Amino acid sequence: MEQAVELSQVLAARERRVWRQNALLEQYRQPLLSFTMNIAGPVKNSPEIRRGFHLGESLLLGQLEREGARLLHAEQIDEITGCEGLYVVALSPARLKAIALDIEEGTELGRLFDMDVLTPAGEKLERGQPRRCLICGGEAKACARSRAHGVAQLQEKTALLLRAGIDRDDRQTAASLTVRALLYELATTPKPGLVDRENSGSHTDMDFFTFLRSSAALWPYFDACVTIGRESAAQPAPETFARLRRPGKLAEADMLRATGGVNTHKGAIFCLGLACGALGRLDRALWRQPERILAEIAAMTEGAVAREMASAGEDAAKTAGLRLYQRHGVTGARGMAEAGYPAVLQHGLPILEAGLARGLPLEQAGACAMLHLLAHTDDTNMISRGGLARQQETTRQLRALLGETPFPAPETIRALDRAYIADHLSPGGSADLLALCYLLHFLKEAE
């Protein structure tokens, strides 16, 4: 809950900060950067302000790393009076101040950052250029002296800046991790019947580089899906799914342009687009909870199979997926989404992370997770290429193998690859689920 602070509390916090700055300067005799937030009004801390502070700290630490500067000491304070950070850096005061100015002036959110640099002697370096007013862009000190803008106006602008900065970081993080998941799925080798680093599997119209082009083309789509999720978060979950439909069609066109007409990622556009939409609907603190993300996808797609059948009408028999549903009850991609991707939550992701816990490389753990996914899903790509009976027999064989050896050796998987290629089988649906497993794993590790 947000709490207002008294002037006496602000002054006490400032006195404590000065005392701590002097102590660190005495101890290290190196330049010190003091980072606080410029927040108008009596509320100096909140989840949004805290998030803004951490984004600023991340920018600072990234620039120090780029500079090759040694960080000798870092400490943060999170109190009702605000967030504070003190950083002792083995770098010239002038260079440290230049880094601070680059962040304050070079980023939109930086207008809320106050990064003071003290020399080893305790002298505060001046900015060299006046800070700009949040409202009019003029000199901030002049506006403050004349009270040109009210506190409410400053608070509204601060909230807008914080929200925009947080949303931008969320979009970029989600889209980047999603493209990484696609690339890791592609690079995972061996994958029976699928394109990987060793061969093109059962495909003659695509190769490793086709998938690279496709993956690169989809970054804007994933960014847009997060935005749609964020904008529709207050609405019923199915509204987000409905709004994702048109961008999904446009993304398919982008994919086909990038690949020269080859369908590389249609299934991934669907399942990973849903995941990004769900991330947009959820608070960032929930991104580390795979079960929560998948439950949100289930809520978004509730009734999707029934609606698709109803809208298809007499044309249902014209699409392979709907024919499978009519004849065999196989619900395909929509059914898996509506169920919250149980194979991912119960098999793929646990095997991926159990493999990593055993010390397996990520690639090998991913290859094993792929087999477990295939063993526990009705992969419509497999059915369309080999028929339902063959897919069911493949599932039985895989379950027997995995029952004896949950983590098959790469050579065992290569033998499956040769067999699938000989029979022109390709579990593309399971590959999409592997990418989803990678994304959920990356989100758990993300800062």
List, in order, residues 6 or more apart from 96 with CB less than 8 Å away: 31, 33, 69, 89, 117
The pLDDT value recorded for residue 129 is 83
Determine the Cα–Cα distance for residues 201 and 311; give it in Å rounded to an integer: 35
The strand pair at 32-37 and 113-118 is best described as antiparallel
Q: Rounded to an integer, what distance in angstroms lies between the CA atom of residue 322 and that of residue 121?
A: 75
Q: Is the pLDDT of residue 61 over 60?
A: yes
Residue 313: the pLDDT is 57
Residues 292 and 343: their CA atoms lie apart, in Å, by 15
* Helix, strand, or coil (residue 404): helix
Confidence of residue 183 (pLDDT cuts 50, 70, 90): very high
How far is 407 from 385, CA to CA, in rounded Å?
Answer: 26
Residue 286 phi, psi dihedral angles, 5° rounding = -90, -5
From CA 277, how far away is CA 294, in angstroms rounded? 11
Give the architecture (CATH level 2) of 161-183+191-445.
Orthogonal Bundle (1.10)
- CATH number for the domain formed by residue range(s) 7-149: 3.30.70.260
pLDDT computed for residue 326 by the predictor: 60
4-27 confidence digits (pLDDT tens) = 999 999 999 999 999 999 999 999
Which residues make up the CATH 1.10.4200.10 domain(s) of the chain? 161-183+191-445
pLDDT, tens digit, 9 for 90 and up, residues 158-179: 999 999 999 999 999 999 999 9
Q: How far is CA 287 from CA 244, 300, 379, 434, in A?
A: 20, 16, 27, 18
In tens, the pLDDT along 212-242 reads 999 999 999 999 999 999 999 999 999 999 9
pLDDT for position 15: 97
Q: Tell me: the pLDDT tens digits for 365-380?
A: 999 999 999 999 988 8
Give the pLDDT score at 389.
Answer: 85
Please give the C-alpha separations between residue 136 and each of 105, 232, 278, in angstroms, as whole numbers.
Answer: 15, 31, 37
* pLDDT tens-digit readout, 278-314: 999 999 999 999 999 999 999 999 988 878 766 665 5
**Which strand ranges, in their side-by-side order, compose the sheet holding 82-90?**
70-79, 82-90, 32-37, 113-118
Answer yes or no: is pLDDT of 329 > 70.
no
Residues 6+ apart with CB under 8 A from 288: 443, 444, 446
105-139 pLDDT, tens per residue?
998 899 999 999 999 999 999 988 888 888 898 88
Q: What is the pLDDT of residues 354-413, one digit of tens each?
A: 999 999 999 999 999 999 999 999 888 888 888 888 888 999 999 999 999 999 999 999
Q: Using the predicted structure, report yes or no on whether residue 1 has a pLDDT greater than 80.
A: no
Q: Give the residue range(s) of CATH 3.30.70.260 domains in the chain.
A: 7-149
Distance CA 106, CA 123 (A): 25
How many Å apart are CA 130 and CA 133, to the nearest integer? 9
pTM of the predicted structure, to 2 decimals: 0.92
